[in-house]
């Protein structure tokens, strides 16, 4: 398959017999595709890209057009899988300094992804006196962080612009039937989109969870979906390469995977990836710990640790072919900074040499690296990348012997928090936790 995501393991598997994992990977892929494995009621994402039809795309585009026309800001409220996918794609496609520039359409901002009081205060301060809309996203409809943010911004919007404007410019993305958000949306008459039952949060970026905010930000959701369809149809070789390599490395003592990019716009893509792999694989006291770095920035902070610290790391470098713009390094007659040796080169040429130099240095230091190449950062290749990582995660998780589609561990902090907040129904836990303090 040309013009697509490729996985290259040249500097990852030298001297290792990864071949023996081939059968395990094929078996895991078969388990995934036949729906015979653990968590098989959450496989709706597997054929999701090719099932998205014209009607769905048009509906999303129409809703986005209303928000784009009426609002200066659109606050997207959600956390985890109901936040990171949209954030990752919007950041990857946006001008780095969009926040400081005026542009076409509303600025998409995020809330409900933390409980930071000052964060919420500052955001409320920003949108006060401006027309804004809200996309509130929660599959369960009961998650505390987004529920608090929604209560605040809903009240603010209704007071500021009136009930009618609020009703027109609030969209809820939630379960088809269950949850507080579904009930609230029905009662208030908001437009709604459904998160399918069989698609878990971290696999939901190609549902309205991701597609609606991305469309509101002005990006081409058709191209994004088309890229994902390409991978759904032709991506298995790359999926297997990645799943095999990371399991081979894990079995060889490399317990930490660092996703490294040399492209600042991919910072949040790595945050999305961390949730996908962390929540899917970290179970039964097993799993590769997913970390990320932004190079070359972090070569000046984490570089020492990667080069020379404990040898439990492998690195996956996300390498981008073409940049969107060209910036040439100028010649300077005096050459006081000694940079004339790269004068006339474009900045990305230097970045690419830094990338190759880093990979070789890390291999020499005992950090094997995998390379994932994407031809450019655009909707099509991001769509490919999303689906590639999702499917590889399913295969990899089954190879590891876990259920990649649940997240029981996420509940532990919530139980304690509810007990400490004295939420009704948690009286026993409240007494127990108070006894520990």
Query: Which residues are designated catalytic?
Result: 279, 300, 414
Instruction: Report residue 374 as tokens.
Output: 């994407």
Question: CB-based burial of residue 33 (10 Å sphere; 0-12 exposed, 13-18 middle, 19+ buried)?
Answer: middle
Residue 79 is a binding residue for ligand PA5 (CB under 6 A):
yes
CB nearer to ligand PA5: pick between 11 and 387: 387
Residues 279-318 within binding reach of ligand PA5 (CB under 6 A): 279
> What is the pairing mode between strands 6-11 and 369-376?
antiparallel
Please pick, from the candidates 39, 49, 80, 368, the single residue that binds ligand PA5 as defined by CB under 6 A: 80
Q: Is the peptide bond before 296 cis (omega within 30 degrees of 0)?
A: yes
CB 204 within 8 A of CB 359: no
- Please identify, using beta-carbon distances, which residue of 29 and 139 lies nearer to ligand PA5: 139
Q: What's the closest the beta carbon of residue 84 comes to ligand PA5, in angstroms? A: 8
Nearer to ligand PA5, 32 or 320 (CB): 32
Closest contact distance (angstroms) between CB of 143 and ligand PA5 is 3
- C-alpha atoms less than 13 angstroms from C-alpha of 190 in its C-beta half-sphere: 26
Question: 9 vs 280, which CB is nearer to ligand PA5?
Answer: 280
The reply on whether position 106 binds ligand PA5 by CB under 6 A is no
Q: What SS3 string covers 291-344?
A: EEEECCHHHHCCHHHHHHCCCCEEEEEEEEEECCCCCECCCCCCCCCCCHHHCC
- Smallest CA-to-CA distance from 365 within 254, 290, 286, 270 is with 254
Among 98-106, 132-140, 230-238, 418-426, the segment contacting ligand PA5 (CB under 6 A): 132-140
Distance of alpha carbon 48 from alpha carbon 51, whole angstroms:
5
Residue 426's alpha-carbon distances to 241, 412, 420, 422, in angstroms, are 47, 13, 9, 7
Nearer to ligand PA5, 201 or 227 (CB): 201
172 forms part of the interface with ligand PA5 (CB under 6 A): no
140, 167, 198, 416: which one binds ligand PA5 (CB under 6 A) = 140
Minimum gap (Å) between residue 356 Cβ and ligand PA5: 35
200 touching ligand PA5, by CB under 6 A? yes
Give dist(CA 13, CA 416) in Å, integer: 43
Q: Measured between alpha carbons, how far is 429 from 55 in angstroms, rounded to an integer? A: 48
- Please choose, out of 88-96, 198-206, 395-403, 418-426, the segment that lies near ligand PA5 by the rule CB under 6 A: 198-206
* Phi, psi for 202 (deg, rounded to 5): -75, -10
**Which residue of 39, 81, 85, 397 would you call a contact of ligand PA5, by CB under 6 A?**
81
**Binding-site member from 39, 85, 133, 201 for ligand PA5 (CB under 6 A):** 201
Stretch that binds ligand PA5, among 36-44, 140-148, 244-252, 296-304 (CB under 6 A): 140-148
Question: Nearest approach, Cβ of 364 to ligand PA5 (angstroms)?
Answer: 37
Using CB under 6 A, which residues numbered 388 to 407 contact ligand PA5?
407
Who's near 290: CB < 8 A, 6+ residues apart?
257, 259, 273, 274, 277, 278, 281
Residues that bind ligand PA5 (CB under 6 A): 79-82, 138-140, 143, 146, 200-202, 279, 407
């Amino acid at each position: 398959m040309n013009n697509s995501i490729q996985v290259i393991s040249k500097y990852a598997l030298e001297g290792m017999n990864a071949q023996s994992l081939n059968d395990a990977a094929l078996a895991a892929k078969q388990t995934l595709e036949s729906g015979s494995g653990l968590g098989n009621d959450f496989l709706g994402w597997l054929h999701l890209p090719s099932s998205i039809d014209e009607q769905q795309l048009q509906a999303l585009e129409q809703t986005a057009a209303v928000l784009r026309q009426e609002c200066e800001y659109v606050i997207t409220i959600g956390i985890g899988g109901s936040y990171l996918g949209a954030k990752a794609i919007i950041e990857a496609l946006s001008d780095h300094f969009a926040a400081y520039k005026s542009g076409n359409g509303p600025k998409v901002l995020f809330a409900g992804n933390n409980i930071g009081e000052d964060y919420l205060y500052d955001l409320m301060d920003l949108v006060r006196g401006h027309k804004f809309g809200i996309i509130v996203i929660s599959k369960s409809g009961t998650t505390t962080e987004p529920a608090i943010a929604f209560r605040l911004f809903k009240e603010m919007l209704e007071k500021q612009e009136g009930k009618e404007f609020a009703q027109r410019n609030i969209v809820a993305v939630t379960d088809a039937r269950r949850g507080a958000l579904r009930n609230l949306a029905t009662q208030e008459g908001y437009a709604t989109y459904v998160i399918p039952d069989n698609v878990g949060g971290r696999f939901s970026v190609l549902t309205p969870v991701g597609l609606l905010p991305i469309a509101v930000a002005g990006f081409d959701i058709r191209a994004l979906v088309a890229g994902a369809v390409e991978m759904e149809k032709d991506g298995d070789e790359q999926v297997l390469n990645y799943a095999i390599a990371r399991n081979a490395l894990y079995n060889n003592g490399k317990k930490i995977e660092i996703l490294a990019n040399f492209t600042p716009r991919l910072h949040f893509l790595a945050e999305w990836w961390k949730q996908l792999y962390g929540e899917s694989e970290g179970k039964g006291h097993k799993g590769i710990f997913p970390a990320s770095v932004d190079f070359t920035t972090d070569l000046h902070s984490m570089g020492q640790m990667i080069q020379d610290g404990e040898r439990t790391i492998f690195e996956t470098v996300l390498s981008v072919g073409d940049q969107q713009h060209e910036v040439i390094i100028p010649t300077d007659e005096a050459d006081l900074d000694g940079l004339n040796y790269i004068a006339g080169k474009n900045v990305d040429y230097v970045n690419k040499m830094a990338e190759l130099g880093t990979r070789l240095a890390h291999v020499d230091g005992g950090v094997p690296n995998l390379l994932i190449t994407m031809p450019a950062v655009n909707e099509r290749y991001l769509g490919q990348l999303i689906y590639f990582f999702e499917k590889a995660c399913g295969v990899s998780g089954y190879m590891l012997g876990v259920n990649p589609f649940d997240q029981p561990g996420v509940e532990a902090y919530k139980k304690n928090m509810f007990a400490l907040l004295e939420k009704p129904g948690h009286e026993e836990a409240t007494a127990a936790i108070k006894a520990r303090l």
